[in-house]
Structure 1
Amino acid sequence: MMFPLKRLLIGRPLKSTELGEQKLNKTKALAILSSDALSSVAYGPEQILIVLLTISAAAFWYSIPIAIGVLVLLTALILSYRQIIFAYPHGGGAYVVSKNNLGVNPGLIAGGSLLVDYILTVAVSVSAGTDAITSAFPALHSHNVLIAIIFVIFLTLLNLRGVTESASILAYPVYLFVLALLILIGVGLFNIATGSVPPDLHTPVGTQIAGISLFLLLKAFASGSSALTGVEAISNAIPNFKDPAPKNAAKTLAFMGGLLAILFSGIVFLSYYYGIVPSIEETVVSQLAEDTFGRNFMYFFVQGTTALILILAANTGYTAFPLLAVNLAKDKFIPRMFTIRGDRLGYSNGIIFLGLASIVLIIAFGGQTEHLIPLYAVGVFIPFTLSQTGMVVKWLREKPQGWVGKLIINALGAIICLVVTLMFFITKFPQVWSVLVFIPVIMFVFHRIKNHYEAVGDQLRITEDNHAVPIEGNVIIVPVAGITRVVENSLNYAKSLNPNQIIAVYVSFERDEEKKFEEKWQKWQPDIRLVTLHSQYRSIIQPLTKFVDIVQHKASESNYGVTVVIPQFLPKKGWQNILHNQSSLLIRAFLLFRRDVMITTVPFHLKK
């Protein structure tokens, strides 16, 4: 039943030779890798206004210079990551750049921050998309968490079907969203130009506002910079592009930067001119669309496409997280299972882990986007800062042709990103302090995993000094619970291995029962030695494992091995297992950790 269901949900398995067909062209790549950055215009401008509102709505004119500052940072990031794409054409982004130029630990800080950031990408995007839906349909507001979880499950299944298939589906909502916002911005500017929007809705630029401070403006700038999250995703996912991958990735990055600049600046300006005030019940984009179009088709078109891209922006995380996990897993800092491709040639373990972690996060935060955005933004600006600093070190060390200009670009990006990172910690410390706890913890976990893999490698590696001691013989122990066909099947198997060194072991709870069993055994299998162990406390495991330890100790003196052959019958239907005790599984579980003891399970399949 599970196999047909898997095929229905995920699709037929793809051959390894079909991997090239899973590469993305620029059109699909823009949709699947830029959705996170483009969707952030739906909440980035709102974050600026929320900070300014702490003074008064009259301070909203400051959103214009703040937006200009965000655009300067965007330009620096686009130019910087364009250089990273050509310098590291195999992908890896901030993790690879930081590790190669700043050292392993800075690389792990960048990699660990991005891993968590991609989980937050899914949680924030889906939560924001759910907010957009419930803004249009307030009756659904109490079901935010459930709706968000359903969308995460949908995206997880979609990505398990393969990157090309998910990109084909996601391209339409992304481009419809861009079209909707361009229409909204165009109509809004037309209304302003024709005088349809009263000028008294906003405070004129340059108005003196009491209580404004540089600290508050920097806080608003840092909050608005959350619109730049996702810019790094293209540099992480270069292997997903069709050849020539670096050139296609660089063109996609530039086009994304241009679209993001237009949409972000347009929404900021219209919000200021229309005098939009942030509200818990309704998003800024929703208010802007209603003021521009009224509650007609275009309003619902804007809201619908905004909700879709906010939800599907999570797909940036689904694309970038598995690729980053592969790089960390290849360096042995996280489990190797993340390097395995699934049936549809995607890194399915990374996709599933991302989906589950995002659901946990949505439940933990109750689907409240505003609580996640600061943590989300600071998690991406740390890698931004490290990657730009790493590129500065690279240019200073290598000094290639034209390195001075490249150095200036990356240095500027590093300085601005550092300022934004510090502002997040200073202004939003109660919301982002957990990052300071998380980073040391995940660094510790990374190094413990690395140490484990290295220790395993040292012990498994064959050298001249560590050849295995040859085994001279084998003692076979067969735990028996009665005289049955299951036991007979296992004894026949044991005889095929070594008929002269078989010990059957029976654990009894009553003395009378023990004597009766010995008599029956003598008649049934007189050639096989039977050892009976009396258990006062009705435990099978304790006396059996103690006996195995004694036999193993004596056998090791003669270079003999010990094999425990465990009889086990399997019911015809899986659910019938709950009707039987699982002694064989318990014995196996306990003996697995006994050194120099081999374990063999001999199944006996029931037919009824």
Structure 2
Amino acid sequence: MNSESAVTINLASLKRLLIGRPLKSTELGEQKLTKTKALAILSSDALSSVAYGPEQILLVLMTIGMAAFWYSIPIGIGVLILLLALILSYRQIIFAYPHGGGAYVVSKENLGLFPGLVAGGSLLVDYILTVAVSVSAGTDAITSAFPSLHEHTVIIAVAFVVFITILNLRGVTESASILAYPVYLFVLALFILIGVGLYNVVTGKLSPDLHAPVGTPIAGISLFLLLRAFASGSSALTGVEAISNAIPNFKDPAPNNAVKTLMAMGTLLAVLFSGIVYLVYYYGIAPGPEVTVLSQLAEQVFGRNLMYFFVQGTTALILILAANTGYSAFPLLAVNLAKDKFIPRMFTVRGDRLGYSNGIIFLGVLSIVLIIAFKGKTEHLIPLYAVGVFIPFTLAQTGMIVKWVREKPQGWMLKLFINATGALISFIVTCMFFLTKFNQVWPVLVFLPLIIIWFYRIRKHYDAVGEQLSLATCEPALPVEGNVFILPVSGITHVVENSINYARSLDAGQIIAVYVPFEREDEERFEQKWKKWMPEIRLVTLHSPYRSIIQPLSKFIDSVQRKASQSNYNVTVIVPQFIPKKGWHNILHNQTSLLMRAHLLYRKDVIVTTVPFHLKK
């Protein structure tokens, strides 16, 4: 066994260790999700956002002063109204489009191709940001509990992305089985936190001086600032659309199971978000530079004991594992776009574990790039993240409005009202992000048009390829009368002999050996040796005073090709190549054959064939 085979076997063994054994296509049904597992894997993004959503509200209100924190209560109620509208809207989308696709499919079918691509492009970017934001926020939770780790934030975040990527490559069911425990532990931890916190409030253990009473007049408050805080708090609703994109991942009946999961997620999100918002206000907690609001709340409620670390630990876990929502939804959205020929077809291919592994790997790599670029700073990523999801929210709801008006099914007026409410609020939130955080969200106005241009160029390419390959539209292929074989040679060796024997075995055509010497003496010497060794094979020598092999060879191939095309002859360049026994031996030899193939690959009407000769020692 040579070293290359050993390396291949070792890589295959490592792949099996990390990812697991390949699954048969018939096992696809076993990879579908139950409602319990789906709630964990698809709701983790939405549920985890309660760890930073309330904090985003306070960061805006803090510009006026802590006395303005009581406004977080009515703002929180506004966020809950938006949540209700979105949940009811996406419930309708799931039943209307049971094969998944979410905002992309809804927008494309009801508003047109361009709005569909805007929604699809926004969601693709949003799922990348989902991973980056979730992992960054989870790392923040860890460093809040252990401040000494602050300087290693980026390394920790990248390590978690690699771990989650490998976990998802193992398959949907396996990753869901592992992720279910942290998600439900987080929900349990927050219920305990909210329960104990409310108990302290009810029993009067807290001083009323910790917070300003609701209704306290605040100087400097404005509608614009309140809308800005509302838009920031709405970041807690990111991930709500993931279930509508991932319907194909559910066990049958998929739409019914998806809707039940969506309603359960909405209920949990509403309870956790409202509880955290109220307690943070009542305890008078303000955002800190290196300590999260949730960490401060847990410390105030429990003290820095086991329960505090339980809350912080489960928060860190769900924030990190919330990235899995992106890993579940991104590949399925990519499949829909790839089927419509707007992104590479490789995204439609299932891997060894029946998941769309190309999408998973692509998502992981780009998320790592974002984390490194933003140095793991969550607050810089959240505005981009939120605006990236509210654009599809708005388009999806608007698309459903058009659908109900056009089709007018039974009860369409109520459905229209629900979607119109969701569309209006989502549009207001989107506008507020652009108005109040333009310096943070302006990249959307750059990368989104670039992505859409990329979509159209890929579609144009696929259409052109299809047109040229179609037998119905292409000109008939010309008959081949014969072949001209051009054989570059560097010496009289077994490698050259092996290649000549291969050309002879094809039993049709003329063989021309081509030698490119750098010195005249070498040219004469080689011609004499060749006449003695293989006189029946024509030899052409091309002196190269500038020591280039590729350039004179290319010119000769062009001249032969022009003459051959007049007689309907094929030109085939046979590249002899010896293969060392050990892989590392390659670095000891000039890779002329590799450069030659790379240069000739894109030459029109020239066939390139490599004839390997394997060395034994």
Matched to 2:202, the amino acid is A
Which of 294, 314, 336 pairs up with 1:327?
A: 336
Structure 1 residues 179-188 or 523-532, which shifts more?
523-532
Q: Is the 8 A contact 2:245 2:333 kept in 1?
A: yes
Q: Is the 8 A contact 1:33 1:234 kept in 2?
A: yes
Which deviations, in whole Å up to 9, do the C-alpha atoms of 1:13-37 show, x marking residues without a partner?
Answer: 1111111100000000000000000
Corresponding residue number in structure 2 for 1:21: 30
Residue 118 in structure 1 maps to residue 110 in structure 2: no
Q: TM-score, normalised by structure 2?
A: 0.98
Which of 362, 367, 388 pairs up with 1:358?
A: 367
Which of 538, 548, 553 pairs up with 1:529?
A: 538
Q: Is the 8 A contact 2:171 2:353 kept in 1?
A: yes
Which deviations, in whole Å up to 9, do the C-alpha atoms of 1:192-221 show, x marking residues without a partner?
Answer: 111111111000000000000000000000
Which of 211, 217, 221 pairs up with 2:220?
A: 211
Residue 165 in structure 1 maps to residue 181 in structure 2: no
The CA distance in 2 between the partners of 1:383 and 1:97, in whole Å, is 10
Which of 367, 370, 382 pairs up with 1:373?
A: 382
Structure 1 residues 248-257 or 480-489, which shifts more?
480-489
Corresponding residue number in structure 1 for 2:426: 417
The CA distance in 2 between the partners of 1:607 and 1:105, in whole Å, is 59
Residue 231 in structure 1 maps to residue 240 in structure 2: yes
1:2-17 → structure 2 map (5 Å cutoff): 2-17=11-26
CA spacing shift, 1:470–1:417, aligned 2, 3 Å: same
Deviation at 1:328, TM superposition (A): 0.5
Give the unaligned 5+ runs of structure 2. Answer: 1-9
- C-alpha RMSD of the superposition: 0.7
Residue 444 in structure 1 maps to residue 453 in structure 2: yes
Which of 307, 328, 333 pairs up with 1:298?
A: 307
| Runs of 4+ in structure 1 over 2 Å off | none
The CA distance in 2 between the partners of 1:499 and 1:379, in whole Å, is 61
Structure 1 residues 50-59 or 482-491, which shifts more?
482-491
Sequence identity, in percent?
Answer: 79
Residue 59 in structure 1 maps to residue 95 in structure 2: no
The CA distance in 2 between the partners of 1:595 and 1:25, in whole Å, is 54
The CA distance in 2 between the partners of 1:511 and 1:151, in whole Å, is 62
Corresponding residue number in structure 2 for 1:263: 272
The CA distance in 2 between the partners of 1:35 and 1:574, in whole Å, is 46
Deviation at 1:183, TM superposition (A): 0.3
Corresponding residue number in structure 1 for 2:86: 77
The CA distance in 1 between the partners of 2:160 and 2:390, in whole Å, is 27
Corresponding residue number in structure 1 for 2:582: 573
Corresponding residue number in structure 2 for 1:134: 143
The CA distance in 2 between the partners of 1:290 and 1:375, in whole Å, is 30
Corresponding residue number in structure 1 for 2:4: none
Which of 30, 39, 59 pairs up with 2:39?
A: 30
Q: Is the 8 A contact 1:58 1:203 kept in 2?
A: yes
Corresponding residue number in structure 2 for 1:399: 408
Corresponding residue number in structure 1 for 2:392: 383
Q: Is the 8 A contact 1:476 1:498 kept in 2?
A: no
Corresponding residue number in structure 2 for 1:41: 50
Corresponding residue number in structure 2 for 1:348: 357
Corresponding residue number in structure 2 for 1:108: 117
Q: Is the 8 A contact 1:271 1:288 kept in 2?
A: yes
The CA distance in 1 between the partners of 2:496 and 2:25, in whole Å, is 44
Corresponding residue number in structure 2 for 1:435: 444
Q: Is the 8 A contact 1:474 1:498 kept in 2?
A: no
Which deviations, in whole Å up to 9, do the C-alpha atoms of 1:238-286 show, x marking residues without a partner?
Answer: 0000000000000000000000000000000000000001001100010
1:246-285 → structure 2 map (5 Å cutoff): 246-285=255-294
Deviation at 1:407, TM superposition (A): 0.7
Q: Is the 8 A contact 2:55 2:287 kept in 1?
A: yes
Which deviations, in whole Å up to 9, do the C-alpha atoms of 1:436-482 show, x marking residues without a partner?
Answer: 11121111111011001101111011127611111111111111111
Matched to 1:42, the amino acid is A
Q: TM-score, normalised by structure 1?
A: 0.99
Deviation at 1:499, TM superposition (A): 5.9
The CA distance in 2 between the partners of 1:573 and 1:376, in whole Å, is 49
Corresponding residue number in structure 2 for 1:595: 604
Matched to 1:153, the amino acid is V
CA spacing shift, 1:193–1:464, aligned 2, 3 Å: closer
CA spacing shift, 1:44–1:555, aligned 2, 3 Å: same
The CA distance in 2 between the partners of 1:109 and 1:499, in whole Å, is 56
1:308-319 → structure 2 map (5 Å cutoff): 308-319=317-328
Which of 245, 254, 263 pairs up with 2:254?
A: 245
Corresponding residue number in structure 2 for 1:201: 210
Corresponding residue number in structure 1 for 2:106: 97
The CA distance in 2 between the partners of 1:68 and 1:291, in whole Å, is 24
Residue 554 in structure 1 maps to residue 563 in structure 2: yes
Deviation at 1:500, TM superposition (A): 4.8
The CA distance in 2 between the partners of 1:561 and 1:216, in whole Å, is 73
CA spacing shift, 1:465–1:125, aligned 2, 3 Å: closer
The CA distance in 1 between the partners of 2:533 and 2:506, in whole Å, is 20
Q: Is the 8 A contact 1:471 1:561 kept in 2?
A: yes
The CA distance in 1 between the partners of 2:227 and 2:607, in whole Å, is 65
The CA distance in 1 between the partners of 2:221 and 2:473, in whole Å, is 74
Which deviations, in whole Å up to 9, do the C-alpha atoms of 1:292-338 show, x marking residues without a partner?
Answer: 00011000000000000000000000010000001001101011111
Matched to 1:294, the amino acid is G
Structure 1 residues 464-473 or 573-582, which shifts more?
464-473
Matched to 1:362, the amino acid is I
Matched to 1:225, the amino acid is S
Aligned residues: 608
Q: Is the 8 A contact 1:290 1:299 kept in 2?
A: yes
Counterpart secondary structure, 1:505? strand
The CA distance in 1 between the partners of 2:506 and 2:246, in whole Å, is 53
Matched to 1:569, the amino acid is F
The CA distance in 2 between the partners of 1:500 and 1:16, in whole Å, is 46
Matched to 2:535, the amino acid is P
Counterpart secondary structure, 2:480? coil
The CA distance in 2 between the partners of 1:211 and 1:492, in whole Å, is 90
Counterpart secondary structure, 2:593? helix
Counterpart secondary structure, 1:479? strand
Q: Is the 8 A contact 2:467 2:473 kept in 1?
A: no
Residue 605 in structure 1 maps to residue 611 in structure 2: no
Give the unaligned 5+ runs of structure 1. Answer: none
The CA distance in 2 between the partners of 1:559 and 1:481, in whole Å, is 29
Deviation at 1:498, TM superposition (A): 3.4
Q: Is the 8 A contact 1:329 1:336 kept in 2?
A: yes
Counterpart secondary structure, 1:566? strand
Q: Is the 8 A contact 1:40 1:228 kept in 2?
A: yes
Which of 499, 504, 513 pairs up with 1:504?
A: 513
The CA distance in 2 between the partners of 1:571 and 1:187, in whole Å, is 71
